[in-house]
């Protein structure tokens, strides 16, 4: 009896909706464009081409779980992509250029943290402003031009294969396993979820929420820098325009992933499944010959659906308590998560440094 109840909960649509959506899309596009969609080449290309998007989304899970949406994530990818190219054409050794690009992404995370916790700027505004600053920095470093003539050896990082799968896929899996372990199996992960669920309660419990946010934003920035340099390696060109296009699909994957497996909690493997599910939808629409604006429409719709589904998953008690507090005109503070399932609105500002 208990086994059957657990199985029904596991395979329930609200718990694995992305998998059901994936099956539907495979059937639809398999019947619509079978000559191209069902080929092994298409699926290998999909796996490799979306590795960077999925990698960046996995990195974004950490600050989002801590209660901060990093709206600079796309610009961080762009900075990593153009910085590694500029270093390489400046005859910096490949390993050094890779390390410096990742460190630059981490430094952006530190700057965002300072704006949020020290300057007391709401995270939504702070990361949006950082995104604009990074766009200017990327244009300055590149001169608003593509950077060509990169070393041939650097291209192997993004296009080299092992057992028919490109290296970025293995890098994605390594980062995903590491961050999954941190979030789900370590005290640091519990502190991240506690900070995202209720920062005031976490601080009262002794959690150094400021340090948690620092770790989260530095992790996100470093992973975004890694994704940017892998993208440049795949393209063999430093393109200053590639970063912003990652913002929407990455955020959509993170929020859709929060509705998978973990009962409304931001998590790594839900994000991986969501990222590739969205990629399958976009690839199928492209192979069907639909207009080039369809992917933006698809990702935007997916983001709206994911956020709506995440809100719907909140318990009736949490919604009722929120309405009661609103009626009393008190500050809206998310109640402590029930068994780790609660979601605080990540667009809320982080408490000022005096309370941390």
Concatenated DSSP letters of 7-57: HHHHT-TTTSHHHHHHHHHHHHHHHHSHHHHTSHHHHHHHHHHTHHHHHHH
What pLDDT score does 21 carry?
85
Residues with Cβ < 8 Å from 47, sequence gap 6 or more?
165, 166, 169, 276
What pLDDT score does 273 carry?
93
What pLDDT score does 6 carry?
64
Predicted model pTM? 0.84
Domains, in order of start, for the chain: 2-335 (1.10.3470)
- Which 8-state DSSP code applies to residue 288? T
Residues with Cβ < 8 Å from 167, sequence gap 6 or more?
156, 157, 158, 159, 160, 161
Q: Among 251, 215, 213, which Cα is nearest to 116's?
A: 213
Mean pLDDT in each 10-residue stretch from start to end of the chain (356 residues)? Answer: 64 75 89 88 89 96 94 96 96 95 97 95 94 96 92 92 92 97 95 94 93 96 96 94 92 89 86 93 87 82 76 53 39 39 43 40
CB-CB contact of 59 with 228 (8 Å) = no
Angle, helices 209-235/51-65, rounded to nearest 10 degrees: 170
What pLDDT score does 18 carry?
82
Q: Report the alpha-carbon distance of residue 109 to residue 104 in Å, rounded.
A: 9
What pLDDT score does 352 carry?
43
What pLDDT score does 340 carry?
40
């Amino acid at each position: 009896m208990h086994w059957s109840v657990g199985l029904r909960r596991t395979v329930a649509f609200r718990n694995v909706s992305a998998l059901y959506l994936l099956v539907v899309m495979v059937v639809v596009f398999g019947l619509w464009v079978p000559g191209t969609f069902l080929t092994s080449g298409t699926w290998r290309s999909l796996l490799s081409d979306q590795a960077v998007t999925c990698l960046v989304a996995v990195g974004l899970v950490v600050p989002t779980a801590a209660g901060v949406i990093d709206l600079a994530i796309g610009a961080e990818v762009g900075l990593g992509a153009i910085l590694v190219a500029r270093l390489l054409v400046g005859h910096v050794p490949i390993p050094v250029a890779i390390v410096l690009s990742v460190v630059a992404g981490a430094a952006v995370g530190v700057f965002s943290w300072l704006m949020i916790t020290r300057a007391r700027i709401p995270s939504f505004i702070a990361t949006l402003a950082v995104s604009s600053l990074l766009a200017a920095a990327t244009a300055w470093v590149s001169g608003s031009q593509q950077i060509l003539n990169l070393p041939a050896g650097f291209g192997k990082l993004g296009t080299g294969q092992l057992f028919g799968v490109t290296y970025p896929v293995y890098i994605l899996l390594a980062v995903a396993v590491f961050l999954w372990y941190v979030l789900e199996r370590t005290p640091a992960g519990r502190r991240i979820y506690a900070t995202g669920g209720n920062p005031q309660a976490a601080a009262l419990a002794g959690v150094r929420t400021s340090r948690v946010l620092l770790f989260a934003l530095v992790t996100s920035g470093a992973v975004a820098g890694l994704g940017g340099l892998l993208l440049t390696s795949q393209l063999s060109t430093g393109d200053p325009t590639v970063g912003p296009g990652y913002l929407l699909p990455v955020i959509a994957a993170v929020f859709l992933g929060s509705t998978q497996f973990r009962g409304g909690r931001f998590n790594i493997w839900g994000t991986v499944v969501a990222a590739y599910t969205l990629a399958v939808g976009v690839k199928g629409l492209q192979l069907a010959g639909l207009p080039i604006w369809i992917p933006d429409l698809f990702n935007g719709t997916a983001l709206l659906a994911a956020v709506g589904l995440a809100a719907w998953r909140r318990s009736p008690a949490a919604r009722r308590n929120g309405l009661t507090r609103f009626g009393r005109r008190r500050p809206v503070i998310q109640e402590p998560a029930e068994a780790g399932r609660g979601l605080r609105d990540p667009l809320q500002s982080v408490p000022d440094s005096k309370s941390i």
